[in-house]
Structure 1
């Protein structure tokens, strides 16, 4: 099967680099599929599950917002965060959700409000992912 080079870089550093056969990116209005030979495009990534296939095995990771540069031979993802579902600490995510919900109860500037909403969305996505992929 045809493949391309996939490079996933999070704000904490390189998460994955290697061959990939296909991938499905989370975007604001659904998902976006990529295969080898894809036309060049830039895609805005929305927090969610990224699925990619390596040697016939599908892998899934939770990615934060970011951007993907797609070419026929490689895909470069730059995302805020990237983590395997099994690495999510459910207790930590629950504590983050509680903190964000408490902050929403207080008067905040618009900037603080949007930052808190982002934190709450991230915590909720992590909790949903951890529940779905629990060991």
Structure 2
């Protein structure tokens, strides 16, 4: 049976390395499901979750919060290079919730002071915090 090899790499090193029967990601162009023998390609990832259905058991699914990056699919090897990525089991949800509140305050402050760049950065931080919370709650 054909399978995929999934590797997720950040500047801190290898975060994830397993075999899968199916992978789901969200690119800037939309949702993408990947099965073995998928065409080779490269795409830009959105800040979102990555779902990896492992080959060892049909019910074994890993969830990884990925904060953007790129995905390369080449000959059944999926390589994701991201600024940051965390497996659901490693996410500190209370820390992510504090980051969400902090980002919401920063957005409000930036809007009051008409600081467009600060608002944009805070919105990205908010999106990342929400992604981490959502993935962390998948356990």
Please indicate the TM-score interval, normalised by the length of the shorter structure: 0.7 to 0.9
Partner SS for 1:80: coil
Q: Deviations over 1:7-48 (max 9, x none)?
A: 211232211224332211122454201122111111221122
What corresponds to 2:13 in structure 1? 13
What corresponds to 2:95 in structure 1? 92
What corresponds to 1:102 in structure 2? 105
Extract unaligned runs of 5+ from structure 2. none
Distance in structure 1 (CA, Å) of the matches to 2:138 and 2:52: 16
> Residue 120 in 1 paired to residue 126 in 2?
yes
Partner SS for 2:130: helix
Extract unaligned runs of 5+ from structure 1. none
Partner SS for 2:96: helix
What corresponds to 2:66 in structure 1? 63
Distance in structure 2 (CA, Å) of the matches to 1:108 and 1:89: 32
RMSD: 2.0
- How many residues in Structure 1 have an aligned counterpart in Structure 2? 133
Partner SS for 1:37: coil
Distance in structure 2 (CA, Å) of the matches to 1:42 and 1:125: 22
Q: Deviations over 1:73-108 (max 9, x none)?
A: 311111122112232212211211121122122226
> Residue 38 in 1 paired to residue 38 in 2?
yes
> Residue 47 in 1 paired to residue 47 in 2?
yes
